[in-house]
Structure 1
Amino acid sequence: MTAVSSSTPLVFDPYDYEFHEDPYPMYARLRAEAPVFHAPADDLWVVSSYGDIREVLRDDVTFSNRMGVALDASAWTTDAHRVMSFLALDGDEQTRLRKLVSAAFTPRRVRDLEPSIQRLTELHLDHSLAVNAEHGEVDWITELAGRLPMDVISEMMGVPQADRDEVRRLADLVVHREDGVRDVPEAGMLAAFELIDYYANMVSQRRKSPSDDLTSALTAAENDGDRLTDEEINAFLFLMVVAGNETTTKLLGNALYHLSANPEQQKQVYAEPEHLVSDWIEETLRFDTSSQMLARYVVDDVEVGGQTVPAGSKLIVLLGSANRDEEIFHAPDTFDIHREQGEMGQILSFGTGRHFCLGAHLARLEAKVVLDELVRRTSSFEVHADRAVRVHSTSVRGFANLPTTFIERP
């Protein structure tokens, strides 16, 4: 890790492309010099230490989700729940909506997806390895990591196969940030409107002709006579396709990138996949989590880490920094699949408290099925890091392209 010089002024710019390439030196400097830092350019309060972040995430009375969780100015609104569902609600409103959604998005529904995930994994891996055999390498993101999570979510929702590439393209545009633009770019806004319209039409169709998919289950979800409105279903579907799809794609890319950079650990994973694939996933979630930062609205004047943060402030918690906090994790800047389970259990990649990620189990299941099958079918791989292309986003961290060479088992 290249240290950021403490002789230079401390500037936190979440839109800076150079910061996206490697945010961890900046996180380390924030933890050391200003664990609660005011970034005047965007009027943000930035929280970087594990303990403070955990407290913020578990107190949604003082640190509200009512304005959403994205730091972009256009997304920072009391209408954020219209596209972020219960992620942008607090208290009883959040509890009500999450209960109704959970009645359809059940643990059993997720478990029942495993055969479909396996089938889709084999389909995309067959194609990826064929491309690899022909060209000596394959873009892991384009051919598998970017396709499979969208296919899984789309299959669960009932999105037709013919529409999935376009839905994925729109979802990519929603999270992409353009160099020099300190907000959601126009293309991202237009993509969000298109996705919302698409899901609105799908919900309308399911109201008329229900099927056995998640969208139909959401239209039928009921709790003591209370039901979801079309708008609430649309918001949850939008949240799933943007948050659920993008974060799992990034997890699958980051997993390969970091294991390729640690060849001894790669050999160990291939030697003991039944024990180490899960540890590989968890260490990837800790070391380079897909979701790097979340926003909160400060309801009342509050002291955080010895600093008074005024009411009405926009506060950012750096999940990526929490997972590298040296107060919690031994040698935090070292990728180590043999990390103690007690440490692994402390990661904040999926949040904590009442807003703990509803899709955490699905993301882990997808990663486990994909990486188990990859290790079964290949004997090693090498990511061509010099040609990897990062996604530029204020919300997710990962790759747009990840050229990789696989050695297939005989």
Structure 2
Amino acid sequence: MYSPYDYVVHEDPYPIYARLREEAPLYRNEELDFWALSRHGAVSAAFRDTATYSNGYGVSLEPTAWGPKAHRTMSFLAMDPPRHSRMRALVSRGFTPRRVAALEPRIREITRLYLEPALESGRFDWVTAVAGRVPMDVISELMGVPESDRQELRRLADVVVHRDDGLQDVPQEGMAASLDLVVYYSDMLARRRAHRTEDLTSALLDAEIDGDRLTDEEIIAFLFLMVVAGNETTTKLLANALYWAYLNPAEGAKALGGAIGPWVEETLRYDTSSQMLARRVTGEVEMYGTRLPAGSRLLLLVGSANRDGRVFPDPDRYDLDRDTSELISFGRGGHFCLGASLARLEARVVLGELARQITGYEIDLASAERVHSANVRGFAHLPMSVTRR
């Protein structure tokens, strides 16, 4: 039985995904009351068909996260058109490609700030020393969070996504951490309303289309989404990249030799941070000869779709030379991830800076520790040692 809450699945979901694609491309879990799509074509089509497969109840099955009020913490990720279109258009005013591109020099500075002392030590935890710090600092700078507060916000974000073995809902600690984040951003928003600065929070306050503006509740929900979803997924991408390059030495040599873009893209395909997203079926629909009733909960198994041999030849091989143009790690259609360009930029900068300064590295596999989350896949700890150039 496939369950996104199972620690065995967290360790390695891919053999299970392979069985699902071949034996049950539309899988039913009666106990947890969901269906799951695992093939690339079906997942991709569902991403694009927002009328049939709704985001309106959120993207996570957990009872406290699923429902018509999911937008309060998931922002426009839990909305359908036209509401989603309005919110996305307004948010995009403060999240333009120019604003993202302009961050590159600062991303490089932040990366070097954490990477240099780590490399000097020779042995360090990649996640806690670098991968978990750079994305939080970048998001925080974008939003205008002071340096003194960033470590605590990172801790709260970790608590929000962590799940104990078998737990099928947000734990009390996670709910408390969520509330703390909301209170923090409420206070920050109040300060920006009184005094604007050059940051995303101020830009969101001023964003306007034909007189339409974002409410405080909408801005706070978006900031919450950024720190939890935007920060966590990039951290996991950075650690997954090092892990798989290490386990595949020939590909690791290409990565450290300068193939940074392919390194990022193949990691996004091979072991994507966001393994699955939920949808609500708006009306009765037939798939694979089975009728799904209206209101059904449907999981789009992104991690499985990216390993579908129908689209990616020899899909279980980590190959930096492959064509990754069909990966769907950031979704498709109207809900394509707004932060995709930022995530890719951060990953290229961080991994590029690392590759520029080392000739090799070793991971302490026995001490590597995975994050346990229904949606996010990656490492909480990845101890390593490096050989500098």
If the length of structure 2 is used for normalisation, what is the TM-score? 0.99
1:182 to 2:186 alignment: no
In the TM superposition, residue 59 of structure 1 has moved relative to its aligned partner by 0.7
Matched residue type, 2:151:
D
Question: 1:125-152 CA distances to partner (integer Å, 9 max, x unpaired)?
Answer: 01211232xxxx2100000000000000
1:51 to 2:41 alignment: yes
Structure 2: distance between partners of 1:139 and 1:114: 24
Secondary structure, in 3 states, of the residue corresponding to 1:91?
A: coil
Aligned counterpart, 1:236? 222
Aligned counterpart, 2:55? 65
In the TM superposition, residue 327 of structure 1 has moved relative to its aligned partner by 0.7
Kept in 2, the 8 Å contact 1:52–1:305? The answer is no
Which of residues 242, 245, 250 in structure 2 aligns to 1:264?
A: 250
Count residues with an aligned counterpart: 389
Which of residues 316, 324, 327 in structure 1 aligns to 2:307?
A: 324
1:218 to 2:210 alignment: no
In the TM superposition, residue 32 of structure 1 has moved relative to its aligned partner by 0.8
Aligned counterpart, 2:140? 154
1:202 to 2:188 alignment: yes
Structure 2: distance between partners of 1:53 and 1:307: 16
Aligned counterpart, 1:16? 6
Structure 2: distance between partners of 1:269 and 1:195: 37
Secondary structure, in 3 states, of the residue corresponding to 1:73?
A: coil
1:311 to 2:305 alignment: no
Residue correspondence of structure 1 range 250-399 to structure 2 within 5 A:
250-271=236-257, 273=258, 276-340=259-323, 344-399=324-379
Structure 1: distance between partners of 2:262 and 2:194: 45
1:406 to 2:383 alignment: no
In the TM superposition, residue 180 of structure 1 has moved relative to its aligned partner by 3.0
Structure 1: distance between partners of 2:211 and 2:105: 33
Identity level (%): 56
Unaligned stretches of 5+ in structure 1?
A: 1-10
Structure 1: distance between partners of 2:233 and 2:121: 25
Aligned counterpart, 1:6? none
Kept in 2, the 8 Å contact 1:388–1:402? The answer is yes
In the TM superposition, residue 168 of structure 1 has moved relative to its aligned partner by 0.4
Aligned counterpart, 1:5? none
Question: 1:3-53 CA distances to partner (integer Å, 9 max, x unpaired)?
Answer: xxxxxxxx1111111110000011000011110011011001011111111
Kept in 2, the 8 Å contact 1:15–1:182? The answer is yes
Structure 1: distance between partners of 2:367 and 2:354: 22
In the TM superposition, residue 268 of structure 1 has moved relative to its aligned partner by 2.4
Secondary structure, in 3 states, of the residue corresponding to 1:74?
A: coil
If the length of structure 1 is used for normalisation, what is the TM-score? 0.94
Structure 2: distance between partners of 1:242 and 1:355: 17
In the TM superposition, residue 269 of structure 1 has moved relative to its aligned partner by 2.6
Residue correspondence of structure 1 range 118-133 to structure 2 within 5 A:
118-132=108-122
Aligned counterpart, 1:143? 129
Unaligned stretches of 5+ in structure 2?
A: none
Secondary structure, in 3 states, of the residue corresponding to 2:82?
A: helix
Q: CA RMSD in A?
A: 0.8
Kept in 2, the 8 Å contact 1:324–1:333? The answer is yes
Kept in 2, the 8 Å contact 1:293–1:318? The answer is yes
Structure 1: distance between partners of 2:5 and 2:308: 23
Aligned counterpart, 1:8? none
Kept in 2, the 8 Å contact 1:203–1:215? The answer is yes
